Structure 1
Amino acid sequence: MAADTPDRPTLRERKKTKTRAAIRKATYRLAAEEGWDAATTDRIAAAAEVSPSTVVRYFPVREDIVLTDENDALMEARLRARPAGEEPLESLRAVVLEAVRTALDREPEETRLRARLMVEVPSVRARLTETTAETGRRLARALADRSGRDADDLEVRIFTAAALGALREATVYWAERGWTDDLIPLLDRTLDTLRNGLAPRTRPRARP
């Protein structure tokens, strides 16, 4: 057997990833079939074939099972790799839309269910604020480094929080309307609104 290298996850890391995936899959299945209240820690553990203590060890907050993933570090790395001199909003647009496209391609049902739970379950919606803040801290570090600022600068914090909050609200809008819209254009439109501001809607001129 080849030895694990820094570029290849260790056996322990692969097992942890597999366990996290099994817990997520079981949670999504229970929530989709029976509702969020049915996805208790004990039932998730049974469905994932792990102990309840394992579920809690991997996800101390149950809502994090559907709200967190391993993409934050990847998005931060991709944001740092964007072309030098690119406007921050355009860098963020490219990275976020790529992540959402990947989620929709690989896990369309899970992505829609996550958005529905954000709308329907108060505890999920409340926890989302905290997980978004953690994502924001990661992205703020990358944006600050690219712009020569400190990650705790007011402008960096406002920009990052405004962008992520707007994207979160667009996702809620998508779910509230039964996923009838294409999410990618909605997110694109959201970032355009941040860039351009809110223009008054032109009303048709009344006929004489």
Structure 2
Amino acid sequence: MSVDSPGDGTAAQALPETQGLRERKKERTRRSIRSEAFRLFREQGYNETTVEQIAQVAEVSPSTFFRYFPSKEQLVLTDDLDPLLIEAIRRQPRDTPPLTAFREAVVTVFSNLSGEELAFEQERQALLYHVPDLRAAVTREFERNIDLICGLLAEHLHRDEADFEVRVTAGAVAGCILAITKMVPMNPENISRALMFMEAGFPLRGEN
């Protein structure tokens, strides 16, 4: 029987499996590059670490590095939690208030992280805020986060992303996360607490 002729579907089924293996291999390579990069950052500093050094310890060529990350800066900036957060928010019931939906999604994402994954995200955020060469990127991250949150809120509420109230709310959420992340990087309890404070209408009172 020709491999092109109809049969039991074995050849057709093997393609997705092979593709899955290929994607898993790519993800392992990507994680290895990032892991080795952060190890070098800890040992010798971000500025002192070169792409060539990262590629060498990750046992890949510099060209392979650039296939996964456009730059050393982007290696730090890439946020693996974004797709998880997007999925978690989309799973929230449509009648859930937007800030509650966002908070529940954040709690879901963080509760599913391993200790190692959470530690990595905290280290990544700490680099962004404490390495002078990366601080300029924080502003770009902030703007990107506003756009991301704006899109998610608009989708949840069936409203336009350009809606004034949607964008103001997205900016407030992003600002809250930025403010507390600078204090303690990627602390899920603080993020949840900040969003609850927003939900309550920012009930800020003076000391007695």
Q: TM-score, normalised by structure 1?
A: 0.80
Larger Rg belongs to: 2
2:205 is aligned to: 200
1:56-93 Cα offsets, whole Å, 9 max, x none, are: 22211322212313332222122111012101001111
CA contact (8 A) 2:128 2:135 kept: yes
* Structure 2 alignment gaps of length 5 or more: 1-9
- Following the alignment from structure 1 to structure 2, what is the Cα–Cα distance between the partners of residues 187 and 69? 16
Residue 187 of structure 1 aligns with an amino acid whose one-letter code is I
Q: Alignment partner for residue 107 of structure 1, among 106, 112, 117? A: 117
* Structure 1 alignment gaps of length 5 or more: 176-181, 204-208
SS at match of 2:103: helix
Question: What is the RMSD computed on CA atoms of the aligned residues?
Answer: 2.6
Task: Please tell me whether residue 91 in structure 1 is matched to residue 101 in structure 2.
Answer: yes
1:80 is aligned to: 90
| CA gap 1:102/1:122 in 2 versus in 1, 3 angstroms | farther
Task: Please tell me whether residue 21 in structure 1 is matched to residue 48 in structure 2.
Answer: no
Q: Alignment partner for residue 177 of structure 2, among 167, 185, 201? A: 167
Indicate the percent of aligned positions where both proteins have the same amino acid: 32
- Following the alignment from structure 1 to structure 2, what is the Cα–Cα distance between the partners of residues 4 and 82? 34
Count of residues in correspondence between the two structures:
196
SS at match of 1:107: helix
- Following the alignment from structure 1 to structure 2, what is the Cα–Cα distance between the partners of residues 101 and 28? 23
1:206 is aligned to: none
1:123 is aligned to: 133
